[in-house]
A and B are shown apart, each in its own frame.
Chain A
């Protein structure tokens, strides 16, 4: 077995579950996150300079975020609704499932995909992966203060984009009346 494949398999054991969780949070359907997970590792195995990457985990996380939002953008038309997530074993939906079945979550994720630059990554790491500002700063090679500023700016952008979406939806409804 090649050295890089060994390295990737070790990395898979170490960070596979974390990356799969991240992909599922960003895409929501389980089968999609499984497919994207495969795509992510194939991308990593095709890297020429795998040894040159200082933090494989940070690199893989960034690639996973990009893959997930790319998928959301491409599949916006045919996006699987959040309600299509695997049903729980019990007949009654759990409180968490009820919360997930909120279309607004999907709207938030779609809007996040429209963020530019490091803002999207920072929001994902801070609010979805619940990582500390210091950790994010270390991963991105920025100061903690810069990360806080990026987070604040990204949240403002999400708010503005959501307001824009809301306005557009209402406008369409009025036009249809």
Chain B
């Protein structure tokens, strides 16, 4: 399996790089959504899988990222600025709210994050002057990627925007991969496994949790900032707690205790949804059933199922 992994990875990246050459707009559009959810879910899983904290409010930071990016783009049409603003906005909000949340654990932490997420939702919904209320913000340009005086790339063609999202996402995924295999990642796992022991290792639990929470917020903000240029609008539902549930579900689907789980889960989520929706509008029933099945029967998620059940079977033949 260890020899297979780098090959699979290269194949996947090549596939993604050449995708625009042989697919239409819709597939690119869907792939961008998969990338957005992957980045969102990877940040979320740093909190859950690695630090042991279940946050039900990540959609709040996603939304802050989206709205911040949108507001910037409406005034200064620079994609780079919009994306950076969205990411930072998500991170800063997480830093501030996290300061309060990480003083609690387990249920209280989850409840607090749920509340903060909904507070942000209610702001998005009611603060018409800033967020446009339930109409949201519209007319957001897919601004060009430019550094004034050096280069400017037009982002209107879906293919171009796709490459932008792809490259930034790959960088983000690479960075978080480094993080989880670094001493920082190891320490987070220690916090997840035994708070008491890790304190006696000299680790300030609160600081690391806050850092993990802030990084999750940065990733949520980044994912959120990809949305406005894609859809040209931003509306409150992205801050609702049911949107917070998406990274939770896809991470479970892919596997909470694996690195690639969130990514695999995101891919499966969109594929399943896309297929089911062609037959019936009631795809949530199926998705809900899958989730329930996974929790009851196979909590490791798809990735673990694959590596522990399918692969050995394949090797034996």
A binds B: no
Residues of chain A whose beta carbon lies under 8 Å from any beta carbon of chain B:
none
